[in-house]
Amino acid sequence: MIIGLHHAQITIPKGAEVEGKQFYCIVLGLEEIEKPDSLKGRGGFWLKVGDKDVHVGTEDGFDRLATKAHLAYLVNDISYWKSVLEQHDIQAIDGVPIPGFDRFEFRDPFGNRVEMIQEL
């Protein structure tokens, strides 16, 4: 039986960890957590998001703009996040409406699709 979600993983290009941490830890304010020693040599970094983890791995040869795959971050002030992203020249794109939610999406600096969603 599946009992929950442990983590999700996205990828950034190999060698882009500094830029990735700048965006995810500084702009989005997510907390970096330490990777186990056995995985540190593989590149990337891990983040804490609420009670879940997001693993940011490294991968070349992949067009992140060509996929609908994404993470959706649950927020409590969607207007704040639109403003933060605008300050960093990141365009918010309105998503298809879902009853009971306000949401938008954007692409991170690497092309990954990201969604911000707020329950109304």
Write the pLDDT tens digit of every residue in 67-113: 999 999 999 999 999 999 999 999 999 989 999 999 999 999 999 99
Give the closest residue to 90 by CA, choosing from 113, 59, 74: 113
Domain that holds residue 93: 7-119
Whole-model pTM above 0.85? yes
Is 2 contained in some domain? no
- In tens, the pLDDT along 30-53 reads 999 999 999 999 999 999 999 999
Question: Could you tell me the CATH number of the domain that includes residue 99?
Answer: 3.10.180.10
Is 80 contained in some domain? yes
Domain count, the chain: 1
Is 94 contained in some domain? yes
**Between the CA of residue 39 and those of 10, 21, 24, 51, what are the distances in Å?**
16, 17, 20, 21
